[in-house]
Structure 1
């Protein structure tokens, strides 16, 4: 199977979106320390690619036909980029601060928890990742834990809206909140399609 025109358009769309984010990011990158820029860069692109990986999950058949490859190969391509970037985001933050505290959730207050929601998000993120890795050994349970990725996206977008430097840029704020809204819509569509499949199976 070969990559279809729709697949090319989709990839070009993702590339264009990434380019727009880069332009907006660079516009607000003046006078920032290099390590701080790296932290922000990895956070933005980690969330972008994880969102894309999530958005395509309701479209297993369509993705396979469009890209000419098994769905999991396409899904994992975006997921791996997201995993790398989102992992480096707190790692470089810890390097910048010379403190591992960036990995420890803060429950001192409701406001502080959500401002620093990236911390619990990182823990839940790796639970979701390892659930997918171990899916063959826990076929009944891995999907439940892997679904934590939606919670990760929620925590991430709240964290970014509250304290993200780049979210002071209206364009970036709009793009990423739209990505989160689209991820929620994808989740709803995925559940709806599963409901229809179960309903059809019950009929036959």
Structure 2
């Protein structure tokens, strides 16, 4: 089944957003290639994860619009959202020759939030593991996978506090709006689940 016009428009907008982010990063005055790669990986990774969460309330609509199952589309964005945020600290560690970027900092409180991307990476993998273990923990895997929203919270705070590219108004508006929409998608999904239980 071929995607509808709405599906093609969504794909075009998505590609445009990735291209826009790349343009902002690549035109910033930074010569260190490790810095550029790390920043692009972080932003693209957040963008992919944000889109993956936005899709979650629309299982039936996705099949109608894209001609593909929700899981195939969701997992595509999730895979990108797993790989690129991993590449972000790996690139920084290689560039600085310092593995400390993988170590979470819990004190003081302000520094924890500034470096919240560090624990977010571990929570990302725990959330991913929840999907792999859904048959082993059928009553809990959704709660574990729901940590993805905590990951997005940690990442957006981290970006706003110390993210170089968040000084650009385009990036600031785009990513904060994406986070707000992700929260809205979470609320909508829970509301639909409640409605379904109330009206089986």
Which of the five TM-score ranges fits, normalised by the shorter chain? over 0.9
Distance in 2 of aligned mates of 1:196 and 1:63: 20
Match of 2:189 in 1: 190
Distance in 1 of aligned mates of 2:43 and 2:142: 26
RMSD between aligned alpha carbons?
A: 1.0
Distance in 1 of aligned mates of 2:145 and 2:31: 36
Match of 1:92 in 2: 91
SS of residue paired to 1:138: coil
Distance in 1 of aligned mates of 2:98 and 2:126: 23
TM-score (norm 1): 0.95
SS of residue paired to 1:24: helix
Give the alignment of 1:71-86 within 5 angstroms. Answer: 71-86=70-85
Match of 2:13 in 1: 13
Shift of 1:175: 0.4
> Contact 2:30/2:36 (CA < 8 Å) preserved in 1?
no
Give the alignment of 1:142-181 within 5 angstroms. Answer: 142-181=141-180
Match of 2:27 in 1: 27
Unpaired segments ≥5 residues, structure 2: none
Runs of 4+ in 1 over 2 A off after TM superposition: none
Shift of 1:115: 0.3
**Aligned residues, how many?**
200
Match of 1:120 in 2: 119
Distance in 1 of aligned mates of 2:185 and 2:108: 32
Distance in 2 of aligned mates of 1:193 and 1:31: 45
Give the alignment of 1:26-105 within 5 angstroms. Answer: 26-28=26-28, 30-105=29-104
Unpaired segments ≥5 residues, structure 1: none
Shift of 1:5: 1.4
> Contact 2:38/2:92 (CA < 8 Å) preserved in 1?
yes
